[in-house]
């Protein structure tokens, strides 16, 4: 027997000569391949083990898939994660509560605003100021999250199409995403890793001209989403690849803790925005699309429909922002609030000289307070909280523990990609190797969130 691989160096197990049956020698290298080879030797069967990833172009970055195959049929599938471990959760224990935002925004790098918001909502609950956050700040959070949901889904559709050989799908998706990233850059100064949502509100108010820019972008994004729908949903090749592939019914989703579009494709309309509203989502008008087909095709349809629903919510946010111009975007308690009414410098980065002069010229006490607030941070009462939000990939949870100090005692996140990857085995085993790529793409895992 032998264990071999088509990607990367192949660990190989070799059997001793047949004339000496009592002595068997096996050599294996490369992580857990020795266990796989030993198991194959005990069974006395010849198996082929394919190591797909962690550098395979169809595994969403650094995901490792260990596939046992019989011909073209996958008989066993396992996930290997940890190749993108960053130690974000541990690092957050050594930074102030506000600085923690700069870490968690980098976890799922395609959906940074969701991690920022979940973390800040948790901190605000620990502080007991959840009801004191200005309405305008909550509206800005919702606007950014819904636009981020569209951008994330577009990456899912684009990379998934590219992995199946449709480069045009990727170019359309990424062109549409660029329009949304321009909005992000206009509001936060960055395209990703924003650290814009802060405990108590947001870093600064939205700039003038946002409404006009949003309406321009909305038209463009709708046009590109319509192109994707026309290109994909009625395409016989696309449907042949996706319909009936990666089937995961509702019982399987519930058993594995699967959430998000994958769960809703099985028929359950569970959405945290409806089940446990936050940031005022109960006041917005939107629908939660579902399907009962429970396959890869249904997940594509749902993500496209969710993009339209997010645009619907974003329109309502813009209307509310227009009505609340000039309202505060940071909590009034100066023991918590970082200066939020910032004036950006002429180069688009950093504070303007006028803003710095205002801070330093107000009074010596104000300057000292500002310095201590930024360097030491505020104290959070001892306790723990679990805050969830509806992430593009499912339910994102932030578990925060405070010992009464200026830093988290523990910060842990329930990332939806990590839980959803449990479904790889049940979705892929019994199918073809080519279907593995489709099934994994329909889960839309982001390994930055998985490994943290």
Please give the average per-residue pLDDT across 108-132, as a whole number.
Answer: 92
**Confidence grade of residue 241 (pLDDT, cut at 50, 70, 90):** confident
What is the structure's pLDDT at 326? 83
What is the structure's pLDDT at 18? 47
**Confidence grade of residue 6 (pLDDT, cut at 50, 70, 90):** very low
Beta-carbon contacts of residue 358 (< 8 Å; ≥ 6 apart): none
pLDDT digits (tens, 9 = 90+) for 357-381: 776 676 677 677 777 888 888 899 9
**Distance between CA atoms of residues 434 and 154, nearest Å:** 22
Please determine, for residue 345, whether its predicted confidence score (pLDDT) is greater than 90: no
SS3 readout for the chain: CCCCCCCCCCCCCCCCCCCCCCCCCCCCCCCCHHHHHHHHHHHCCCCEEEEECCCCCCCCCCCEEEEEEECCEEEEEEEECCCCCCCHHHHHHHCCCCCHHHHHCCCCCCCHHHHHHHHHHHHHHHHCCHHHCCHHHHHHHHHHHHHHHHHHHHHHHHHHHHHCCCHHHHHHHHHHHHHHHHHHHHHHCCCCCCCCEECCEECCCCCCCHHHHHHHHHHHHHHHHHHHHHHHCCCHHHHHHHCCCCCCCHHHHHHHCCCCHHHHCCCCCCCHHHHCCCCCHHHCCCCCCCCCCCCHHHHHHHHHHHHHHHHHHHHHHHHHHHHCCCCCCECCCCCCCCCCCCCECCCCCCECHHHHHHHHHHCHHHHHHHHHHHHCCCCCCCEEEEEEEEECCEEEEEEEEECCCCCCCEEEEECHHHHHHHHHHHHHCCCEHHHHHHHHHHHCCCHHHHHC
* Upstream peptide bond of 430 is cis (omega within 30 degrees of 0): no
What is the structure's pLDDT at 5? 38
Highest mean pLDDT among 313-317, 322-326, 327-331: 313-317
Alpha-carbon 261 to chain mean position: 13
Buried b (16+ CB within 10 A) or exposed e, 162-182: bbbebeebbebbbebbebbbe
* Beta strands 383-391; 410-414: pairing state: unpaired
Query: Could you tell me which of 210, 208, 203 has the C-alpha nearest to residue 101?
Result: 203
Percentage of the chain modeled with pLDDT above 70: 83
pLDDT digits (tens, 9 = 90+) for 159-192: 888 888 788 889 999 999 999 999 999 888 888 8
Angle, CA 157 vertex, CA 152 and CA 158 arms, to 5°: 95
The pTM assigned to this predicted structure is: 0.84
Residue 382 to residues 34, 100, 127, Cα–Cα distance (Å): 47, 17, 9
pLDDT digits (tens, 9 = 90+) for 196-229: 999 988 988 888 888 999 999 999 999 999 999 9
Query: Could you tell me which of 222, 229, 387 has the C-alpha nearest to residue 314?
Result: 222
Beta-carbon contacts of residue 211 (< 8 Å; ≥ 6 apart): 318, 321, 322
What is the structure's pLDDT at 242? 87
Which sign does the torsion angle of CA 13, 17, 19, 24 carry? negative
Angle, CA 57 vertex, CA 246 and CA 75 arms, to 5°: 40
Residue 115, both tokens: 């991690």
pLDDT digits (tens, 9 = 90+) for 260-285: 899 999 989 999 999 999 999 999 99
What is the structure's pLDDT at 11? 41
Please give the average per-residue pLDDT across 408-426, as a whole number.
Answer: 91
Mean pLDDT in the chain?
Answer: 83
Please determine, for residue 25, whether its predicted confidence score (pLDDT) is greater than 70: no
**Distance between CA atoms of residues 156 and 167, nearest Å:** 13
pLDDT digits (tens, 9 = 90+) for 61-93: 688 888 888 878 888 888 888 888 888 999 999
Structural domains for the chain? 92-336+378-451 (1.10.645.10)
What is the structure's pLDDT at 13? 41
Residue 283, both tokens: 């006041």
What is the structure's pLDDT at 452? 80
pLDDT digits (tens, 9 = 90+) for 286-323: 999 998 888 889 999 999 999 999 999 999 999 999 99
pLDDT digits (tens, 9 = 90+) for 245-256: 888 899 999 999
């Amino acid at each position: 027997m032998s264990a071999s691989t088509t990607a990367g160096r192949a660990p190989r197990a070799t059997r001793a000569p047949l004339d000496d049956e009592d002595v068997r020698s096996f050599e294996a290298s490369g992580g857990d391949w020795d266990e796989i080879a030993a198991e194959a030797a005990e069974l006395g069967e010849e198996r082929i083990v394919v190591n797909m990833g962690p550098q395979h172009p169809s595994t969403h970055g650094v995901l490792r898939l260990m596939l046992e195959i019989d011909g073209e049929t996958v008989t066993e599938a396992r996930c290997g994660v940890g190749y993108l471990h960053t130690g974000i959760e541990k690092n957050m224990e050594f930074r102030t509560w506000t600085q923690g935002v700069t870490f968690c925004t980098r976890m799922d790098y395609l959906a940074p605003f969701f991690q920022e918001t979940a973390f800040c909502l948790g901190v605000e609950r620990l502080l007991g100021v959840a009801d004191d956050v200005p309405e305008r700040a909550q509206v800005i959070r919702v606007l950014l999250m819904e636009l981020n949901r569209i951008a994330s889904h577009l990456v899912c559709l684009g990379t998934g199409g590219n992995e199946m050989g449709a480069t045009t799908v990727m170019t359309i998706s990424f062109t549409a995403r660029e329009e949304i990233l321009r909005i992000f850059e206009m509001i936060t100064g960055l395209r990703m890793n924003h650290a814009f949502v802060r405990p108590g509100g947001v870093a600064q108010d939205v700039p003038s001209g946002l409404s006009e820019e949003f309406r321009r972008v909305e038209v463009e994004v709708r046009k590109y989403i319509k192109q994707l729908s026309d290109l994909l949903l009625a395409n016989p090749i696309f449907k042949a690849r996706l319909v009936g592939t990666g089937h995961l019914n509702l019982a399987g989703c519930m058993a594995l803790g699967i959430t998000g579009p994958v769960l809703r494709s099985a028929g359950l309309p569970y959405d945290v925005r409806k089940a446990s509203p936050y940031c005022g989502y109960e006041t917005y008008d939107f629908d939660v699309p579902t399907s009962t087909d429970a396959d890869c095709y249904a997940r594509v349809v749902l993500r496209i429909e969710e993009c339209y629903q997010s645009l619907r919510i974003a329109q309502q946010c813009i209307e509310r922002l227009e009505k609340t111009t000039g309202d505060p975007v940071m909590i009034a308690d100066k023991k918590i609030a970082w200066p939020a009414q910032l004036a950006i410098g002429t180069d688009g980065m950093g504070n303007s000289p006028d803003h710095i002069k205002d801070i330093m010229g107000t009074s010596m006490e104000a300057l000292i307070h500002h310095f201590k607030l930024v360097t030491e941070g505020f104290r959070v009462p001892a306790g723990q909280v679990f805050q969830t939000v509806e992430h593009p990939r499912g339910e994102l949870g932030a578990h925060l523990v405070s010992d009464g100090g200026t830093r988290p005692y523990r910060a842990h996140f329930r990332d939806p990609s990590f839980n959803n990857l449990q479904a790889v085995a049940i979705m892929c085993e019994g199918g073809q190797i080519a279907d593995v790529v489709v099934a994994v793409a329909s889960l839309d895992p982001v390994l930055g969130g998985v490994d943290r």
